[in-house]
Amino acid sequence: MLSCLLGLRQPKLDAETRAFFRDACPWGFIVFREACVSREQLRALCADLRDTVGHDAIVWIDQEGGRVARLKAPEWPTWPAAGKFGEIYAKQKDAGLEAAYLGYRLIAHELRDAGLDGDFAPVLDVPVEGSDKIVGDRAFSADPKIVALLARAALNGLHDGSVAGCIKHMPGHGRATADSHLALPKVGAQEIDLANDVLPFTELADAEAAMTAHIVFKAWDPDRPATCSPVVIDEIIRKRIGFQGMLMSDDLDMHALQYALNGGLKERAEAAVGAGCDVVLQCSGVLKEMQTTAAGCRELAGLPLVRARAVEAFAKRPPREFDAGAGWARFKQLMADFAPA
């Protein structure tokens, strides 16, 4: 299996893409809105992906709720952004924790029903005043301790539904004053402030997977974004935060890496894997770009393979017993009870 996770933006595999996936054998996949037409169609697509690569690959999705949701109404329910759970927590702590757990337990229920078993959530970023709005209400709170508590509840909800989670964007995107989809953010904060940003990640360092941030942290490595920085990955993520799970890059297509590195997707993949990422993420769904990315990847072996197997264990175990009807009723009650006056 190659150390990559590739995107799909079509509802059905074409012959060329199927042949590439069969030969390259990526570790996993991520599906986007264009690939999610109906429940029956998505189940068939996920089964086809796994059959093509010949292993029970995890099929991931970005389903945070709020702005970042690939499963859309009317085919699927609508979930609030993570910030809503923080608002409830501010009014009543137990209700906030219950809402966060239930929200992500219900997401897991819907994902499993559609053939999906990995979610790029929860977000652990801590937004600060003056930062770019790309995080905004995707964050649970501006208080790192509350972020950690609610993110733990959310991750537990995914796990109980037999869905692997991925905490993001390590070591913290909340202080960036630019959107890394469009530019290369550079954070000049000092250690005392950055300690605030990494706290939620430290509290959830036992998570099975994490995603890096395409951000330059001048205090740690002024020349390279975290995704491509051996210093940030080894000294901050692995040692200081204590994260020993599978580390994935954010999308290699994002403009941040275009500004940070010379070369194309092959060079970006090589830089990320060389810096210590176990797996790279490339989301365009364009065959030629996926082929170029794969050329910069490695076969999963050694510790990265051990970490991959650990992530698969979260995604492939049976879900805990759950009454989805009762869960939705309780969740809707919580949303109504704590709706703005």
Rounded to whole angstroms, how far apart are CA atoms 317 and 321?
A: 12
Question: What's the count of helices (H) and strands (E) in the chain, helices before strands?
Answer: 12, 13
User: 195: phi > 0 → left, psi -120 to 50 → alpha, else beta; which?
Assistant: alpha
Angle, helix 144-160 to helix 191-203, in steps of 10 degrees? 20
CB contact burial 305-318 (16+ within 10 A = b; e otherwise): bebbeebbebbeee
Q: Which of 132, 221, 250, 251 is catalytic?
A: 250
Query: Pick from 195, 247, 203: which is nearest to 226 by CA?
Result: 247
Q: Is 173 a catalytic residue?
A: no
Task: Give one word for 162, left, alpha or beta, with left for phi > 0 and alpha for psi -120 to 50.
Answer: left
User: Which one of 113, 160, 181, 255 is the catalytic residue?
Assistant: 181
Output the CA torsion sign for 105, 107, 112, 118: negative
What is the rounded CA–CA span in Å between residue 112 and residue 91?
32
Secondary structure letter of residue 140 according to DSSP:
S
Contact 91, 103 (CB under 8 A): no
Residues 6+ apart with CB under 8 A from 332: none
Q: Where are the alpha helices (DSSP H) in the chain?
A: 15-24, 39-53, 82-91, 93-113, 144-160, 191-203, 230-231, 255-260, 265-275, 287-295, 302-316, 324-337
Residue 250 annotated to the active site: yes
User: Facing residues of 65 across strands?
Assistant: 68
Q: Catalytic residue positions? A: 181, 250
